[in-house]
Structure 1
Amino acid sequence: MKPPAPSSGSLELLRELTPARVGLGRTGASLPTAALLGFTLDHARARDAVHAAFDHAGIVAGLSGLGLQPVQLASQARNRRDYLRRPDLGRMLDTASRSELADRRGKTDQLAIVIGDGLSPAAVNIHAVELVRHLAPRLAAAGIPIGHAVVASGARVALGDEIGAILGASMIVMLIGERPGLSAPDSLGAYLTHAPRIGLTDAERNCVSNIHGAGLSYDEAAAKIAWLVREGLARRITGVALKDESASGTAQRIATGQG
């Protein structure tokens, strides 16, 4: 027996809960004009986000306003075309950046924050500094100083591994633009890696994703990231071995021997 078609009322309620394209309807064998134009606009926004200019100067200024002293670095991807066609180049520092970092290495730091353009420089331009503004007080409350701040152009997630290894950081938090979607061209992701070194896989990282206006708020994301940093440093792990229990209180009960 064929199930009944959903009512227009139930589709309207569903549309209020999600930015996904639900029940668009049709005109003959095609989409309605409004739905097609909306899709075309969102597709154009996603493409624009990928090719947006990375405002590294603005991000450096914003981080400096938070009391940090960021250093600007670059991957081996010489331009956006190289970056998109050769992902491997975005995972390696260029020679000048490697030398710059080596000169700055001092005592071993617990934490370094790296901000990279990724696949959506637009997301980083909008959200990265504000997320750090919300994150820094939570880290300070946990007694975890930000040892180094880095702004990296042409960056893939794994670029943080080399940066962290050169700096001798115990933990890297990589804030980077995520692949734009048709409903979220400006989504920021945070990737956390304990004991960063070249050759790690994504199984050894934690990710807090979908940080944008219609996704995770800065405060929600900062709470999750701060919890993962604290627990990752305490347990000396990240990735599949570290589950996000920031909302459950389970880790606190284990740590204090309660329950």
Structure 2
Amino acid sequence: MTHSEKVSWLIQQLIKENPGYHAVGEPVDERGKRRLLRSLMNVRWPKEADEEVLKIQDELLQEELQEKGIIYIEEIPVIAKLYPCSSVKNGDRISLWQGDITRLAADAIVNAANSQLLGCFVPCHGCIDNAIHSAAGIQLRNECARLMEEQGHDEPTGKAKITLGYNLPAKHVIHTVGPIVGVKVTKQQEEELKSCYLSCLRTAEKNHLDSIAFCCISTGEFHFPNKLAAQIAVETVDKYLSGSGMKRVIFNVFKDEDLHIYQKLFR
């Protein structure tokens, strides 16, 4: 099958799963088809899928990953080389990288999840939760659902769970639920955000992982102020690394605003 044929075939298979989707028409243009497929994956409730569906989906996502390009952490310079006067003590093990976190070939990438830990169900939403689940494939939601069923309750703020990465170049995804800020950040929310970073680092080490890439937890949809979030992230990670054998921590940013904030902190 060509890329286009795989997209069309998967659309039809996901439509067959739900009788309510039978009236959904397949777009004519390739971009529209791919967007529809992502939407169907986003709204799909966790359940097992036919082996052929998983096979074709995996082939498609791996092709798209190769097209986007994989970023290996060895290619990303540490801040000790870029900002030699930085006050960060462990600059030889910390990096800053701007781009799509689903391209990073780290031992683990961090997902800013919601308390249900099932991913974002809003079709093609711009959050990192949606991006990670869309690139990993439907297996990721299924594994998250199994973890949550075993747990029996929503994931507490500041804790973390680990899953496989499936079609991501990262071997694992560490899911953490950050605090949701209202009018003003409270001291408790600052501690909860700190706990997110510590829980992810401890989870990574417990699973014998050497590298982890953090997104900007709780910023964006959860409204934690970007500058304060970055300060907490850097201080918490740097302090943790002083007593840890973790080989590399990457602060992944997507927006220019966050890039400039981290650059100022490291300078």
Is the TM value for this pair above 0.5?
A: no
TM-score (norm 2): 0.28
Which is bigger in relative contact order (C-alpha 8 A, separation at least 6)? 2
Q: Report the TM-score, using the length of structure 1 for normalisation.
A: 0.29
Larger radius of gyration: 1
